[in-house]
Amino acid sequence: MLLRIFEYIFITSGILFSILLIIHKTYISKLNNNMIKSDYVAGLVVLLSIYVLTAVITGIIVPVWYKKASMLFFAILPFIIGKIATYEKEKIYTGIQIISIVISTVFVLIFG
């Protein structure tokens, strides 16, 4: 039961994070109001934290080893992508990050 709760939180935070990241890249980043930008980025950080924490917790309590390994991989994947990203190719790496979040939520939906 606890595993299902964390899976649902993971799926919800992953979907919300990817949608808000798309909105940020298409609309929020073009605004001139820095206060709105900083508040929005703070919200993204909170959602990313929830995403990572639920992935780690789910990875710890899931009994099957390949699910455990993949959940822990999904937990650190945003940081790996962020580490290799460059400013010149920011849009490409943002797209890769959104795709990886969608793949992780689909993985949990199918194999969860």
The Cβ of residue 54 has, within 10 Å, a number of other Cβ atoms equal to 23
| Residue 58: predicted pLDDT | 86
Mean pLDDT of all residues belonging to the chain: 87
Q: Which amino acid is at 77?
A: L
Any idea how long the chain is? 112
pLDDT at 112 over 80: no
Answer whether 0.85 is exceeded by the pTM. Answer: no
Residue pair 18/98 in contact (Cβ under 8 Å)? The answer is: yes
- Under DSSP, the state recorded for 86 is -
Helices (H), 27-89: 34-61, 65-84
Residue pair 11/102 in contact (Cβ under 8 Å)? The answer is: no
Tell me the mean pLDDT in the region 72-77: 87
Residue pair 107/77 in contact (Cβ under 8 Å)? The answer is: no
Tell me the mean pLDDT in the region 67-92: 86
Q: How far apart are CA 75 and CA 81, in angstroms?
A: 12
| Residue 12: predicted pLDDT | 92
